[in-house]
Amino acid sequence: MIKDELRLIIPNSHEGDISKGLLAKILKQAQISKDEWEAL
């Protein structure tokens, strides 16, 4: 995912879905709102 000059790579060694909790933490740290994420 790329936002402005921030590039966010979400590693997933299990090749499956990541949990909602982990996704929420990652988005919060990257300062990406739920609305921005869902618009992708």
pLDDT tens profile 1-40: 677 787 777 777 777 788 889 889 888 988 889 898 888 7
Who contacts 3 (Cβ-Cβ below 8 Å, separation ≥6)? 30, 32, 36
Mapping DSSP to helix (H, G, I), strand (E, B) and coil, where does residue 27 land?
Answer: helix
Which H or E run includes 7?
A: strand 6-7
Report pLDDT for 18. Answer: 82
Residue pointed to by tokens 């992708």: 40
Report pLDDT for 34. Answer: 87
Report pLDDT for 16. Answer: 79
Whether pTM exceeds 0.85: no
Q: Could you please report the per-residue DSSP string of the chain?
A: -EETTEE-----TT-SPPPHHHHHHHHHHTT--HHHHHT-
